Structures are given as C-alpha cells and as structure tokens.
Amino acid sequence: MCDRREVRVLIVEDDDAIAEPLVKGLEREGFTVERVATGGDALGADEPDVVLLDLGLPDIDGYEVCRRMRARSDVPIIVLTARSEEVDRVVGLELGADDYVVKPFGFRELVARMRAVTRRRAPRERVDGPVAVGSMTIDQRTRRITVNGVDVDLTPKEYEVVSLLAQDPGAVFERQQIMERVWGQPWYGPTKTLDVHLAAIRKKLGDPRWIETVRGVGFRLQPVP
C-alpha cells in the first residue's frame, strides 16, 4: 500500500466552500493535492493516485468525466455528491467509480475510504505466464482475458474480479472477500456494486455459466468449453 504522504489527490469540485477546507485538511494529513473546478481541467490534469469527483460540474457532467477517466485509466475514483438516490449510486458505480460518498460527509471517513481504494494499486503477487480455465485465458502480465482466442473488453474492476476468481477455479469466494480484495479493505460501500459488475462480466463473457452464484455464500468461476 502507498504511504499516504506519497498519495497524489485530484479534487474535482467547483464549490469553493467545499473544496478549500478539503484541500487544507488533506494537505495537513500529508497528501499532495491538486484542485480543479471543471471537468475539462480534470481530464487534462496529470493522473493522480486517487480522484475525488463532484458530479455537479459547470461544464461536463460528472458521470461523463468518470466514464472518460475510467476508459483510459484504472485510477481510483471516489464520487462526492449531494445525490443520494440509489439509482445515482448504481450509475456512478457502473461507469467505473470505486466508491460513492454523499455530502455532507465526515472528513475522517473520507480519508479512510481513500486509503481503502488506493490499496488495490499496491503491487500484487503475480503468477508467471497465462492461466487457462476452460476456453478462457487470463494473462496477468498484460491484464488481458480471452475466450476461445477472442479478447474480452473488461473494465479494470471487471478484470480484477475475474482474475481473483481464476486464482482457484471452482472454489467459492465469499461476497465480502471479493469486495475487500478488489475494492479495498475495509469496504464501506454497498455490496450491490458487486452484482452490477458480475452482471456486466457475464454478458461480456458471452455465457452466464462462467460465474456461478452459490446462494447465501458467494461466487465461483466454472470452466466452460
């Protein structure tokens, strides 16, 4: 895990009353902070270690900023918003956000969430060479997954879920275990996030049999010819 003094934070927030004390608080905690007020500036900024993204931006909708950031990078994104409806949370998470914090929020809780999402960027033990599970091949070196030789276009989070399950094909991984390993430990968000990602993964793999739900326990990766 990165030491928090080394973590570079990009705050995307147009409200000075929220952004300025947040910048000062994070700098006191030892973070290196850059603050921008528009989506355009956010997309043009150097890639940080974590993004705090407001949805109500003056130029580009925050959801669109999230989508564009995720399309080019796996940088952890925490959405900061006054929108508390479940549908807003699900949309943000489907677009690739790692966490969703509703305003007003506690500063200490936010810092804890930031530390949790940056954990997944720490170097992980990697298996040498591609791993084959049925007609699927997972190459951890290139972060590439193919089925019957065809590339599967997964988001960074979707890849992490499949890669984790592929570590022990047929074994059941508990829901909380997956959340903690992929999204960071401890996990503060709703576990429905995992269901959204699994539905997308099954669709992209082309066969729902790849990932089996073990009711009341968790999920496992099953070989499919």
Neighbour tally for 186: CB within 10 Å: 13
More confident residue, 70 or 146: 146
Say if residue 8 is in the same domain as residue 115. yes
Q: How confident is the model at residue 4 (pLDDT cuts 50, 70, 90)?
A: very low
Say if residue 106 is in the same domain as residue 143. no
Residue 124 counted as domain residue: no
End-to-end alpha carbon distance in the chain: 38
Can you read off the two tokens belonging to residue 146?
A: 């193919």
Say if residue 113 is in the same domain as residue 192. no
Which of 119, 151, 170 is the C-terminal boundary of a domain?
A: 119
Can you read off the two tokens belonging to residue 220?
A: 């496992």
Say if residue 184 is in the same domain as residue 98. no
pTM: 0.59
- The count of domains in the chain is 2
The reported pLDDT for the residue numbered 60 is 93
Q: How confident is the model at residue 58 (pLDDT cuts 50, 70, 90)?
A: very high
Residue 181 counted as domain residue: yes
Domain that holds residue 37: 4-119
Say if residue 16 is in the same domain as residue 86. yes
What percentage of the chain exceeds 90 in pLDDT? 44
In whole numbers, what is the pLDDT of the chain averaged over residues?
Answer: 85
Residue 29 counted as domain residue: yes
162/211 Cα distance (integer angstroms):
9
If DSSP states are collapsed to H, E and C, what string results for the chain? CCCHHHCEEEEECCCHHHHHHHHHHHHHCCCEEEEECCHHHHHHCCCCCEEEEECCCCCCCHHHHHHHHHHHCCCCEEEEECCCCHHHHHHHHHCCCCEEEECCCCHHHHHHHHHHHHHCCCCCCCCCCCEEECCEEEECCCCEEEECCEECCCCHHHHHHHHHHCCCCCCCEEHHHHHHHHHCCCCCCCCHHHHHHHHHHHHHHCCHHHEEEECCCEEEECCCC
Residue 39 has pLDDT above 60, yes or no: yes
Residue 192 counted as domain residue: yes
AA letter at 96: G
Q: Calculate mean pLDDT across residues 43-71.
A: 92
The reported pLDDT for the residue numbered 185 is 54
Contact 47, 24 (CB under 8 A): no
pLDDT digits (tens, 9 = 90+) for 141-176: 888 999 999 999 998 889 989 999 998 888 999 888
Nearest to 16 by CA among 58, 76, 65: 58
pLDDT digits (tens, 9 = 90+) for 111-142: 888 887 776 655 444 455 788 999 999 998 88
Residue 126 counted as domain residue: no
Say if residue 141 is in the same domain as residue 86. no
The reported pLDDT for the residue numbered 5 is 46
pLDDT digits (tens, 9 = 90+) for 9-31: 999 999 999 999 999 999 998 89
Which of 119, 149, 169 is the C-terminal boundary of a domain?
A: 119
Residue 148 counted as domain residue: yes
pLDDT digits (tens, 9 = 90+) for 187-211: 555 567 788 889 999 999 999 999 9
210/61 Cα distance (integer angstroms):
35
CATH number at residue 155: 1.10.10.10
